[in-house]
């Protein structure tokens, strides 16, 4: 892996803090369970029974109130808690898996929350647990036995024989998720003297993929699942994330970020008002027909120098927007700062190195179009059975009475949002149409929003609260309240889109309605 700096957007989104933006709502939860009686003293409970695993140790330690400070997020204060650590192993695997729970000393809301991870990190041990604790949840997360490095899986991906470590990959993809649910809920019940009233999963990116895996493989583990910007088809979309690098290498043209931004701005300017208001956000980026060739010959200023947009640069952009035939392309309006960066996305680059080619020295720079076609076919052929969470059969989750919400930003520069809409469409075809699927699974698209938050569009302010209200009060959300600075919007339930009424304040949600696109 290159030692060059990782783009801040990528590190913010794919480091183990990925779920943090979802875990701290701007407004109180829409439904609140009755406060529990005070917790017991902080002492190690009996070892939980975890099917298929052997518990090695259980420890407990009183945790005083504190503050978590992380880049890109305001300081977060959390209350006193009991920290319980369960270390387990799977016989014959020779692994060591940590499940860590934070249980509030007082004010437990009666709920359990499983906290998702980001990139190659299964869990979020700092901001994620603290965010859940601050809202009164008993919360748990796991490392799956693969550590906490969200960008680089080199410490565990390959076994001594140089081949993929299938057991640890199984932990990462699915097995350790069930361990987390079983152990986390068990220590919660032991500590408080009763089980949680409701259990929720909360995650984005890898955490979103984990949410879907829970619904597909372990449908009874959670009453509600928040699976945001989900990494649904990892073997496909991670290879697709490298398409721009191959295009630039093969076309021998590498536009600067400044040039890429010029194409992004031009697309937004050309299609901005299709939703009835000029706000710098594309409501339906897939319907934007802007042709990058229109910018050929245009002069722009980059770092104080005048640059003329070339035909070669326009062709690179056209290919990136079109995408490789095996997957989708970068949506118009989304930033190029990951796919067009000077170095490839390390999550995707390491995926090909370790899980596809199984060669840490593999160099993407040597890959031509034909070779890329081979990699794009090989990745799902090898890895889908382990980690692809794109099974449209959610009948088990529906029978268990679960509810699931997914939201995804249309300007997500890492996990292109078409993967989410495609999955929802396939679930509808498999399970009897939109109306039946809406009874338990709803998707909300966020125009202008980047990966798990950020960007130029309003992001959901409390999607977990909406999920709680649906599970506990039966209030299925038709919209998700969203905000950015002084602008509010109600994100529409897919496939509906937001349309301006033409007369109200364009910065207020009340001036829009949801309609067919």
DSSP class per residue in 128-158: HHHHHHHTT-EEEEE-TTS-S-SS--TTTSB
Average pLDDT over residues 203-218: 98
Does the pLDDT at position 39 exceed 70?
no
Q: What are phi and psi of 5, to 5 degrees?
A: -60, 145
Structure confidence at residue 72 (pLDDT): 76
Average pLDDT over residues 430-450: 98
**Catalytic pick from 451, 462, 498, 511?**
451
**Catalytic pick from 412, 450, 469, 511?**
412
The whole model's pTM is what? 0.94
> For the chain, how many residues are written?
517
**Catalytic pick from 173, 205, 233, 498?**
205
What are the strands of the beta sheet with 441-446, ordered from one edge? 54-63, 81-89, 97-104, 138-142, 111-115, 198-204, 224-228, 403-409, 441-446
Average pLDDT over residues 343-356: 98
296 CB burial (10 A radius; 0-12, 13-18, 19+): middle
Q: Is there a contact between 514 and 492 (Cβ–Cβ < 8 Å)? A: yes
Structure confidence at residue 441 (pLDDT): 98
pLDDT digits (tens, 9 = 90+) for 212-261: 999 999 999 999 999 999 999 999 999 999 999 999 999 999 999 999 99
Q: Is there a contact between 331 and 410 (Cβ–Cβ < 8 Å)? A: yes
Structure confidence at residue 38 (pLDDT): 53
The packing angle between helices 311-322 and 257-271, to 10°, is: 70
Place 517 in a pLDDT band, splitting at 50, 70 and 90. confident
Q: Is there a contact between 233 and 506 (Cβ–Cβ < 8 Å)? A: no
Place 287 in a pLDDT band, splitting at 50, 70 and 90. very high
Pick the more confident residue, 507 or 33.
Answer: 507
CA 416 to chain centre: 11
Cβ-Cβ contacts under 8 Å for 374 (sequence gap 6 or more): none
**412 noted as active-site residue:** yes
Residues 406, 64: Cα–Cα separation, whole Å: 34
Tokens read off for 134: 């601050």
299 CB burial (10 A radius; 0-12, 13-18, 19+): exposed
**291 noted as active-site residue:** no
Pick the more confident residue, 2 or 354.
Answer: 354
Tokens read off for 431: 């399970």
Segment holding 227, helix H or strand E: strand 224-228
* Rg over CA atoms, the chain: 23
pLDDT digits (tens, 9 = 90+) for 297-332: 999 999 999 999 999 999 999 999 999 999 999 999
CA 317 to chain centre: 25
- What does the angle CA 337 – CA 342 – CA 346 come to, to the nearest 5 degrees? 80
Residues 481, 324: Cα–Cα separation, whole Å: 34
DSSP-assigned letters across all residues of 453-492: S-BSSPEES-HHHHHHHHHHH----SEEEEEETTEEEEEE
Instruction: Produce one character per residue of 207-228: b if its CB has 16 or more CB atoms within 10 Å, e if not.
Output: bbbbbbbbbbbbbebbbbbbbb
Structure confidence at residue 31 (pLDDT): 41
Place 21 in a pLDDT band, splitting at 50, 70 and 90. very low
Please report which residue ranges of 40-175 form alpha helices under DSSP H. Answer: 127-134, 166-170
Structure confidence at residue 70 (pLDDT): 83
Residue that is written with structure tokens 């697309």 in the block: 267
Average pLDDT over residues 281-290: 96
**451 noted as active-site residue:** yes
Average pLDDT over residues 376-393: 97
502 CB burial (10 A radius; 0-12, 13-18, 19+): exposed
The overall average pLDDT reported for the chain is 93
Structure confidence at residue 405 (pLDDT): 98
Residues 510, 516: Cα–Cα separation, whole Å: 18
Does the pLDDT at position 51 exceed 90?
yes
Q: What percent of the chain has pLDDT over 90?
A: 90
The alpha carbon dihedral of 210, 197, 452, 146 has a sign of negative
Average pLDDT over residues 97-124: 97
Residue that is written with structure tokens 């698209």 in the block: 445
Residue that is written with structure tokens 């009183």 in the block: 62
Average pLDDT over residues 96-113: 98
Does the pLDDT at position 472 exceed 80?
yes
Place 36 in a pLDDT band, splitting at 50, 70 and 90. low
Q: What are phi and psi of 146, to 5 degrees?
A: -115, 5
Does the pLDDT at position 35 exceed 80?
no
Tokens read off for 496: 């509906």
Decide the pairing of beta strands 299-302 and 224-228.
unpaired
Average pLDDT over residues 288-292: 97
Residues 411, 207: Cα–Cα separation, whole Å: 19
């Amino acid at each position: 892996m290159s030692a060059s700096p990782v783009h801040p957007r990528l590190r913010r989104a794919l480091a183990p803090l990925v779920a943090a933006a979802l875990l701290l709502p701007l407004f109180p939860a829409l439904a609140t369970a009755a406060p529990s009686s005070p917790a017991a003293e902080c002492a190690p409970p009996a070892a939980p029974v975890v099917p298929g695993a052997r518990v090695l140790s259980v420890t407990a330690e009183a945790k005083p109130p504190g503050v978590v400070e992380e880049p890109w997020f305001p300081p977060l204060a959390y209350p006193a808690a009991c920290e319980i650590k369960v270390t387990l192993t799977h016989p014959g695997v020779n692994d060591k898996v940590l499940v860590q729970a934070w249980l509030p000393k007082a004010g437990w809301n009666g709920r359990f929350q499983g906290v998702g991870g980001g990139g190659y990190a299964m869990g979020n041990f700092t901001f994620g647990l603290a965010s859940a604790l601050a809202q009164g949840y008993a919360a748990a997360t796991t490392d799956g036995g693969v550590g906490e490095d969200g960008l680089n899986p080199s410490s565990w991906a390959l076994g001594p024989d140089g081949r993929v470590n299938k057991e640890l990959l199984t932990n990462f993809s699915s097995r350790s998720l069930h361990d987390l649910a079983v152990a986390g809920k068990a220590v919660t019940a032991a500590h408080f003297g009763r089980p949680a009233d409701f259990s929720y999963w909360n995650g984005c990116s890898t955490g979103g993929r984990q949410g879907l895996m829970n619904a597909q493989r372990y449908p009874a583990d959670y009453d509600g699942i928040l699976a945001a910007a989900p990494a649904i088809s990892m073997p496909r979309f991670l290879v697709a994330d490298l398409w721009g690098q191959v295009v630039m290498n093969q076309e021998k043209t590498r536009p600067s970020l400044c040039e890429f931004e010029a194409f992004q701005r031009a697309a937004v300017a050309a299609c901005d008002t299709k939703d009835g208001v000029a706000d710098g956000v594309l409501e339906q980026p897939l319907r934007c027909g802007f042709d990058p060739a229109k910018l050929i010959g245009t002069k722009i200023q980059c770092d104080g120098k005048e640059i003329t947009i070339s035909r070669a640069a326009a062709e690179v952009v056209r290919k990136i927007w079109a995408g490789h035939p095996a997957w989708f392309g970068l949506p118009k309006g989304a930033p190029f700062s990951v796919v067009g960066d000077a170095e490839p996305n390390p999550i995707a680059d390491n995926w090909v190195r370790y899980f596809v080619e199984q060669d840490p020295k593999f160099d993407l720079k040597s890959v031509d179009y034909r070779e890329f076609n081979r990699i794009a076919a090989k990745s799902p052929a090898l890895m889908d059975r382990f980690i692809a969470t794109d099974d449209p059969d959610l009948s088990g989750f529906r029978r268990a009475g679960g509810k699931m919400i997914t939201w995804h930003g249309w300007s997500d520069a890492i996990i292109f949002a078409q993967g989410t809409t495609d999955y929802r469409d396939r679930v509808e075809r498999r399970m009897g149409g939109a109306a039946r699927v809406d009874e338990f699974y709803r998707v909300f698209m966020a125009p202008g929003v980047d990966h798990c938050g950020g960007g130029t569009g309003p992001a959901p302010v409390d999607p977990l609260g909406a999920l709680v209200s649906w599970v506990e009060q039966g209030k299925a959300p038709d919209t998700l309240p969203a905000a950015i600075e002084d602008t509010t919007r109600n994100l529409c339930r897919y496939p509906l889109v937001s349309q301006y009424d033409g007369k109200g304040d364009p910065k207020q949600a009340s001036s829009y309605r949801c309609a067919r696109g």
